[in-house]
Amino acid sequence: MTSPDPSPRASAVFLLDQVLGDGRLMPEALAGGALQRLDPADRARAQRLALDTLRGLERADRLLSRHLRKAPPLHVRNVLRLSTVEICRGGDAHGVVNDAVSIVAADKRRAPMKGLVNAVLRKIAAEGPAAWAKLRVPRLPKWLRAPLADAYGAPTVAAMEAAHFAGAPLDITARDDPAAVARMLDGALLPTGTIRLSQGGQVSGLPGFDAGQWWVQDAAAAIPARILAPKPGERVLDMCAAPGGKTMQLAAAGAAVTALDISPARMERVTDNLARTGLEARTVIGDALTHEGRYDAILLDAPCSATGTIRRHPDLPHAQDGSNYAELMELQARMIDRALGLLAPGGRLIYCTCSLLPDEGECQVEEALARHPGLAVVDAGALDLPGLTPDWITPEGGLRLRPDYWPELGGMDGFYIAVLTR
């Protein structure tokens, strides 16, 4: 006899156990089949519950500490955390409490704690919602907050944290006609051409998805390809292509695109996305550091800390500790050097990272300029796109995007972008 499918709440707790217990990023847990037994709607709900809990973790722990003499085992604590966040955000307390008790009772080892869970959550239901809003905006962990405060100052970091806590709307890039797609989906057309939807839901069920009229891509992530602005027929290398958003932008512009990625599984996603959208690109599975060829333009979205994506991926600061960042920065420098060797005379290289750390952006470009005589940052006029402001241009000539920008529009991911030529 097979066991019944888990509820979205139980599945969300499982994701929290993976992130907070095993240090796994949520995409890794999802790729491992964490939600495979759920239907699409429940899968989306489980992810949303887990993400909301991670964003509100600090507040949940502060509220729970008032009712716990000592911390229970992690699984039980995660049940309490998820339930607290859901109740304090307006969830049906009766249903949340009953489901939480059932989740704990389903595990023989933890079943004796179901009474504790019931008692604590009933207190949260009575007192939590009023106390929730009085708590401070959850902060980044010290290992990440400290270098960001050094780079931007404490008030700016606080504004970033507020953007992280608010979460991210669903952004999409249209293949052909952004205005028409925005009308079809009742979305807002942002100044840079991205379409922003106030309601998320199951992406594959939205109009136009199956027809390949659009793909999911944060507004900031769509800017590098817009800045590159390839001409029809130009030979362009997307150097770290997966999952393919920038590849599709470049192909839609008419470029002769080579999409390169070292991961066969990730390249499969690029291939699937190209097929769905009806766009063409040459796909290559290989190491960027040994790739051969000659290109008019290269887009290098280098492997990085991904600290600019926390508003969409609140699991990141809980699953990482920054210990591998020096290794990533060394790889970024090697990739820049290799990309420059693949450029045709007069070609241009876009270097970008979805990182908030200057060591992965501004500093990488400054060091590349020092290593390569004749290398230059293209005039800041190349970064003059609708929706961007001159204040975002950095001293070395790159573009710094931050989560606290566009607060009235719903924010954007953190990104660094520079255009290099020689």
Catalytic one among 240, 304, 352, 354?
A: 354
d(CA 291, CA 237): 10
Q: Kindly report whether the peptide bond that precedes residue 345 is cis, defined as omega within 30 degrees of 0.
A: no
Q: Give me 312's structure tokens.
A: 């969409």
* C-alpha 293 chain-centroid distance: 31
Active site residue 354: yes
Note the helical H segments in 188-324: 223-228, 245-252, 264-277, 316-319
The neighbour count for residue 59, using CB atoms within 10 Å, is 23
For 191: left if phi > 0, alpha if psi spans -120 to 50, otherwise beta; the answer is alpha
Q: Give me 280's structure tokens.
A: 């063409």
Residue 278 amino acid letter: G
d(CA 348, CA 377): 9
Residue 95 makes CB contacts below 8 A (sequence gap 6+) with none
The neighbour count for residue 61, using CB atoms within 10 Å, is 16
Question: Could you write out the DSSP letters of every residue in 167-178?
Answer: ---EEEEESS-H
Q: Supply the residues annotated as catalytic.
A: 354
